[in-house]
Amino acid sequence: MALLADRVESVPCPQCGDSIDVAQEKPFTVVACKSCGRHVRVPVAIGPLLVRGKLGLGATGIIYAAHDRESDRPVAMKIITTSSDTSDEDRQKLIDKTLAEAEALKAINHPNIVRILRIGEHAGQPYILMELLSGGSLQDLIDREGQLDELRALELTIGVADGLRGAASIDLLHLDVKPQNIVLDGAGSPKLLDFGYGQDAEAAARDEIPGTPFYVAPELVRRLSPTIQCDMYSLGATLYQLLTGRFPFEGRDVKETIFARLGVVAPNVRLRRGDLHFLTGSAVACMLYEDPEERYEDYDSLIYDLQRARDAVKAQSKT
């Protein structure tokens, strides 16, 4: 689906302030200011937004980096997209569900969920405006560091679990918890984004295996009804990766990776990293039980155990 946007005639150079003529330039290409040589990306306009390029692809749309001229700040903008063979009726259903989810998330305004700023429309194309986070994703952190300090990994996971608890309070599942969907703000706090699969959890589980192979819960592989324990499992796989730099289950291809978690006990995280506290190992094991009924009953219980592990690690470091 093409981005419905207006061309921009000129943009101010952020370095010298001179106007740069971009009327004939292709959107999202980079041009140089003739006065100072500063490179600038050519934007397009969507209402009050100057859209500067793609940030990534979510479950239900494309995320763009933009500048909101009304508030004079950088933002992220989500355009809802569907495949070319999607019927008009199904597309409208997806739009309605995505916008309803955004309204719900805007209402809870949880510190560990990306903040929804406003919902708008341009040329019949709805968009969702969100805070633009500057700290990169947890996947970026793993790529840089391999494995994280135990205390840092636990603190991040507690924050994400609290965000999931907030979403669960309005009966919203995520169903694609993974490091790529957890982004850090400027202070280093984690924020969940992209609840696309969770908009219609039952339909997602019926039509496909929602989520990502390395993190998906076994019951979703079996096409059972999703619950909060699905997100707990994916968060457990994420914590496992934060602590070890590895996935709990891996295969030679997608299918083998997905089915590797069925009928077996998840590998003990402390066997892959022996310096971890036993409370950390216990929490990870409980999150990764194959049977969802053996996992934590609710997020209060999960967060309590993660906090116990965090406090034990803190105390251990002082001795």
Q: Does pLDDT of 200 surpass 60?
A: no
Summarised one tens digit per residue, pLDDT across range 147-186 is 999 999 999 999 999 999 999 999 999 999 999 999 999 9
Length of the chain equals 319
Dihedral class, residue 175 (left if φ above 0, else alpha if ψ from -120 to 50, else beta): left
How far is Cα 270 from Cα 290, in angstroms, rounded to an integer? Answer: 18
CA distance 198 to 214: 18
Catalytic-residue membership of 176: yes
pLDDT band of 96, cuts 50, 70, 90 = confident
Residues 298-314 have pLDDT tens digits of: 999 999 999 999 999 99
Choose from 90-94, 133-137, 273-277 the range with maximum mean pLDDT: 273-277
Q: Report pTM.
A: 0.87
pLDDT band at 206; cut points 50, 70, 90: low
Q: How far apart are CA 200 and CA 173, in angstroms?
A: 9
CB 286 within 8 A of CB 278: no
Which residue ranges form the domains of the chain, and what is each CATH number? 6-131 (3.30.200.20), 138-318 (1.10.510.10)
Closest CA to 47 of 107, 118, 105: 118
C-alpha 154/C-alpha 149 separation (Å) is 9
Q: Supply the DSSP symbol for 124.
A: T
Q: What is the mean pLDDT of the chain?
A: 91
Q: Is 267:281 a contact under the CB 8 Å cutoff?
A: no
- The Cα 314–Cα 310 span in angstroms is 6
Closest CA to 76 of 5, 150, 131: 131
* Active-site pick, 68, 162, 176, 194: 176
